[in-house]
Structures are given as structure tokens and as C-alpha cells.
Amino acid sequence: MSTGTPSKIVVVGATSAIAEHTLRLWLGTGARSALLVGRDAGRLEALATDLRVRFPAAALSVAAVDLTDPAAISSVVATSLEGGAPDTVLIAHGAMTTQDEASADLAVARDVLVVTGVSVALWMEAYANALTSGSIGVIGSVAGDRGRKTNYVYGSAKGLVERFAQGLQHRLAGSRLSVVLIKPGPTDTPMTASLKQSGASLAPVDSVAKDVAAAMASGRAVAYAPAKWRVIMTVIRLLPSPIFNRLNI
């Protein structure tokens, strides 16, 4: 379902560039409150301070927690329900590293899988259990559409997120609560600085944020950001293995 203009917002991974720019859009259209959730208290406070200057009418609060801890997740969800349930939840956190680093160190691979995949699923489940209406948005990635040798640890974590979101969409079909999966392509954020240095074409983060807000307003099941990635990834998914295996992607 469409939630219209958000009023009470929760953003998990609020200091991510995509989340920050999406927050600005929502607060700029009249959202009355937002809970900013993340791992780094200093960065959260800096973000909240900036947003308070930009949007003085909005009530902003922060919660710095271990995003992978089930008890912390439950606590934040309970806190966010006080005074009325949020109508808009965006789950945007993750961890990214190179495939070479993840292959060389199993601890690195584990962290990417847990932070980017498992913990995101736990946040989705917690809010799906707590809410009866509104919209839960989750940032996936085109990397999750097909396993590729250049990013299969990160991609498999995003693939987990997609399957989990699909299961929740099936469970919640016909209800007043929607789960929206947004799959950005490579985006110009601090997380992709190495890609930018290598000359990769990156989408502007403010444009991707607009796509996120539009997708959640519509309540659609899956949105690519930018939309061209739907066509690109459809082609990649459908490539026969003998052809796909010759590609350096």
C-alpha cells in the first residue's frame, strides 16, 4: 500500500548517504519526527544536528546500537512505538569490502554477511511483527541479482535480503503493511569511493534517494534505482552460464 507523505519515520543505518538524502526529502515534505538509528553515536549526533538546522520543526532523536544484536533491535523497535507506531521505516545499513579482502579473511566475509544480510533480515522481521500498517523499505542491491566472481560475498548478503523481503511480502499480502525492496546500482557514496577512483559510472546519491522515496510512497514490491538497472540485470540474470562465465564482472 502507499503511505503517502511520511509522518513518523525510523531510519536504520541513518548515516549512510542514501538514507541521509532520503531523510532530507521526507523532512522537507513535512515529516514530523524521525528516529535515526546507527552504530556510531558521533556520526548520528552530527547528522541530527545538521537536520535540526535544516528542518527545525521536526523532532529528531538518535539511537546508537549494535545493529546485529537481536536484543538491541527489539529495544529500538519498542522505543520507536512509543507515542504511536511509525508509518515509514527505512532499513539502509550494510558493510562493503572488496571480494579479494573477503576471500582472504573469513572474519571479513562473516562481518559482511552478518551486517549486510542477517542483521537487515532481523530488522525487517522485527518491524513486520510490530507494525500493522505503513511501509518498510529496505535497501538491497543489484549485486544480489546474480552471483558474480567480483562481489559474491556482498552480493550473497544482498541476495539474502531479497529472499527475506519476498517472504515478508508474501506473508503480508493483503494487509495494510508493505515491504518495499529498493535495489540501487553503483551510487556515488563514501562506500563506493574506490569504484569512483577506478572510473566507474556512479548514480548521483540525491537521484537515488528520490527513487527510494518514490518507491516507498507507491508501495511497489521492487524498485531499481536508477530504473535502467532493471533491464541491465534482467539481461545478466538470463545469460546462459557458458556466456556468463566468460565475462569479467
pLDDT at 192: 72
First-to-last CA distance in the chain?
36
Percent of the chain with pLDDT over 90: 92
Range of the domain at 23: 8-244
- In sequence order, the β-bridge partners of residue 225 are 184
Residue 3 in domain: no
Task: Over range 145-149, report the average pLDDT.
Answer: 98
Distances (CA, A) of 58 to 24, 52, 55, 69, 227: 11, 7, 6, 29, 31
The pTM assigned to this predicted structure is 0.94
Residue 31 in domain: yes
- C-beta separation of 130 from 85 below 8 A: yes
Residue 2 in domain: no
Q: What are phi and psi of 107, to 5 degrees?
A: -65, -40
CATH number at residue 158: 3.40.50.720
**Chain-wide mean pLDDT for the chain?**
96
pLDDT at 201: 79
Residue 249 in domain: no
